[in-house]
C-alpha cells in the first residue's frame, strides 16, 4: 500500500507555516515491519537527507507493531521540533544545528 500525505510544520519551529508532503509505503508484513516514510518536500534538517530519508529510530531498530500511523506522524512532528544531534543524515544541517542554532533556525 502506498500513501501520499502531508504534515504541517510545528509552531515555534523554523518549519512553522510549512506543509511538507511525504510518502508512506507499507510492506506486505505491516505492522510487523515498519513502513518506509520519505519526505517529498525538501526539508533542511539534520535527521532528514536530501533524498527525504528520515533518521528516526522507530522507523528502524525501535519499530514495534503496537505503533500507529498517527503515532509515527506525531513522532515526525516531534523530530522537526527537536532534532537528534547525535545522528544525522544531512551533514550540513547537522553541523549548523550544532554550531549556530540561530542561523540554523533562519535557514
Active site residue 77: no
Chain segment 43-70, per-residue pLDDT in tens: 999 999 999 999 999 999 999 999 999 9
Closest CA relative to residue 45, chosen from 100, 7, 93:
93
Give me the residue spans of the domains in the chain: 2-106
pLDDT band at 81 (very low <50, low <70, confident <90, very high): very high
Q: Which of 22, 43, 55, 94 is catalytic?
A: 55
Superfamily of chain region 2-106: Ubiquitin Conjugating Enzyme (3.10.110.10)
pLDDT band at 39 (very low <50, low <70, confident <90, very high): very high
* Mean pLDDT within 7-15: 95
Distance (Å, rounded) from C-alpha 17 to C-alpha 27? 32
DSSP tag of 10: P
Supply angle C-alpha 102, 59, 44, rounded to 5: 25
Distance (Å, rounded) from C-alpha 94 to C-alpha 44? 9
Its pTM stands at 0.91
Q: Are 54 and 76 in contact (CB under 8 A)?
A: yes
Amino acid at each position: 500500500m502506498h500513501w501520499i500525505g502531508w504534515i504541517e510544520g510545528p509552531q515555534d519551529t523554523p518549519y512553522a507555516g510549512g506543509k511538507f508532503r511525504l510518502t508512506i509505503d507499507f510492506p506486505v508484513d505491516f505492522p510487523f515491519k515498519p513502513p518506509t516514510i520519505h519526505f517529498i518536500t525538501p526539508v533542511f534538517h539534520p535527521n532528514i537527507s536530501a533524498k527525504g530519508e528520515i533518521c528516526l529510530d522507530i522507523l528502524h531498530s525501535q519499530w514495534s507493531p503496537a505503533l500507529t500511523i498517527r503515532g509515527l506522524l506525531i513522532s515526525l512532528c516531534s523530530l522537526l521540533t527537536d532534532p537528534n544531534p547525535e545522528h544525522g543524515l544531512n551533514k550540513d544541517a547537522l553541523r549548523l544545528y550544532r554550531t549556530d542554532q540561530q542561523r540554523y533556525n533562519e535557514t
